[in-house]
Amino acid sequence: MNTIYVLWLRQLKRYFRSKSRIIGSLGQPLLFMVALGFGFGPIFQKAGAGNYMEFLAPGIIAQGILFTSMFSGTEIIWDRQFGFLKETLVAPVSRLNIMIGRTLGGATIATIQGVIIFFLSLLVGFKPTSFFSVIISLVVMFLMSLLFTGLGTAIASTLDDFQGFQLIMNFLVMPMFFLSGALFPLNGLPKVIEVISHLNPLTYGVDGLRAALTRASHFGLAVDFLVLLLISLVILSLGSYLFSKIEI
Amino acid sequence: MSEIIEVKSLVKKFNGFTAVDNISFEVKKGEVFAFLGPNGAGKSTTIKMLTTLLHPSSGKMMINGFDPVHEQDSVRKSFGIVFQDSSLDDELTAYENMDFHGILYNIPLELRKKRIKELLNIVELWEKRNLLVKTFSGGMKRRLEIARGLLHHPKIFFLDEPTLGLDPQTRNQIWEYIKKLNKQEGITIFFTTHYMEEAERVAERIAIIDHGKIITQGTATELKTKTQTKFLEDAFLALTGRGIREEEASGIDLLRMRRQVWRGGKK
């Protein structure tokens, strides 16, 4: 318990101390909301698909969560390079608890980040349906955060240098974001894109947030929630296994 | 005195390359023991196996009566370690680094506070306890790591090249702390180094390691008597056929060796 707490606390302290990281990571979502939201809004409206900001905001919140959690997960690479990982690995505590603490820490940060982006979206005109829907969306946010922090941890456990990190960003994170339905509806897509987006876990996160916040959804909240939960369990188990195998 | 570290026929292979090649040695309780050898000799690999970070390919180890392969937690509670590279969290303060270590090792709050204050005072960092570690110099970081490694009252203290990259003054200072702790707390010290004078000055017994093998072990005096040399540096040269800082023997080393032979040294 102590182990989990202390590693969680460490993540949070690091997060709140690095003001530039917080502000820097908010720039991109804000830009997306302003540029895409206002830019594509009129076309979206003309096509009869409704208010684009309503559609886009949950997608951008999901994007913020995706980026933050993957980054937290892959922090293992940093810790390996700069040594702190060794300090935890020689301590008389179980690897599973180290992994749980780190993942909860990363997921908490990503959820906070999601909440901040949610508030930003209110500034540019997003309106959630009710206060209760915001509470539901928090649950979805945390579940997504767990999933992607776990995914980052799992991948980073098998990498030992920074080069791998760029690879993850370009070949995993960016495609996941663009092919998740965060920016466009999933109806009437070419078959290939449709298949890929259905295999993409972020799709269910985006859809879940949309379901919670705006009551408009492709799969329905229950399906989204179940899929996210299932993938999270699989990925967290895999991550724990890979993390337990790290040798320095 | 009894043995607190026992190693028998220890081997570590990485994809066919033998990093540690059938080494055996013992370290007595309360002793200061040095592993002396050039970079890449297998010193760090040995420490990693002793401290449960790597699994050996074969061989037996006992740390404080426990087996590092099968009794990891008991072994981990028995030792403190200072790694070759810093393993501090730069984004945390000195105090937080100590405190987190104390929590990981399950030290009760009151005892933790007392011990942190005591140790930070010894390494003269108490005044700087609330500064972020990233603002520290290399020597301060090393001192903090030493204090942190001792927080949970380990029986054995491993130091992997503890003075690497530090200036001579800081090096002296660090050895003063370590010797003081060895005397005050009776901790067994196991350190690796490639500085001859450190091994000679600080260690009670020295094992010379090269290409993964222990070439010889004993007190500095024994090593010099054995090779009929006056300085540990010459003894090392006589035993390994080369100076310590070169990976391969240079022309000068060969000349020096010939001189040894002429003077009637062994080898």
Instruction: Calculate what percentage of chain A has a pLDDT beyond 90.
Output: 66
Beta bridge partners of B3: B28
Cβ separation of A5 and B103 shorter than 8 Å?
yes
B224 with B201, same domain: the answer is no
Selecting from A13, A17, A89 the residue whose C-beta is nearest the C-beta of B53 gives A89
Chain B hits for A6, CB-CB cut-off 8 Å, are: 100, 103-104
Residues (pLDDT < 50) of chain B are 246-247, 265-267
Cβ separation of A92 and B77 shorter than 8 Å?
yes
- How many domains, in total, are found in chain B? 2
B51 with B142, same domain: the answer is yes
User: Which residue among B218, B240, B259 closes a domain?
Assistant: B218
pLDDT of residue B233: 76
pLDDT of residue A168: 80
B228 with B173, same domain: the answer is no
pLDDT of residue A115: 96
Q: Could you tell me how many residues make up chain A?
A: 248
B98 with B83, same domain: the answer is yes
pLDDT of residue A149: 95
Give the CA distances from residue A5 to residues A137, B44, B93, B103, B149, in Å, rounded to whole numbers and listed in that order.
25, 31, 18, 9, 21
CATH number at residue B188: 3.40.50.300
Nearest CA in chain A to B73: A92
pLDDT in tens, chain A (248 residues): 789 999 999 999 999 998 888 888 888 899 999 999 999 999 998 888 888 999 999 999 999 999 999 988 888 888 888 888 999 999 999 999 999 999 999 999 999 999 999 999 999 888 888 888 999 999 999 999 999 999 999 998 888 777 777 788 788 999 999 999 999 998 888 999 999 999 999 999 999 999 999 988 889 999 999 999 999 999 999 999 999 888 77
CB contact set of B178 (below 8 Å; sequence gap of 6+):
B146, B157, B159, B162, B189, B191, B202
What is the Cα Rg of chain B in Å? Answer: 19
B134 lies within 8 A of chain A by CB: no
Selecting from B74, B92, B132 the residue whose C-beta is nearest the C-beta of A10 gives B92
Q: Give the domain extent around B107.
A: 3-218
**pLDDT tens per residue across span B145-201:** 999 999 999 999 999 998 887 888 888 888 888 888 888 888 999 999 988 888 888
B166 with B233, same domain: the answer is no
Are the beta carbons of B168 and B175 closer than 8 angstroms? no
Selecting from B53, B105, B132 the residue whose C-beta is nearest the C-beta of A92 gives B105
B200 with B241, same domain: the answer is no
**pLDDT tens per residue across span A46-90:** 888 888 999 999 999 999 999 999 988 888 888 888 888 999 999
ipTM of the complex: 0.85
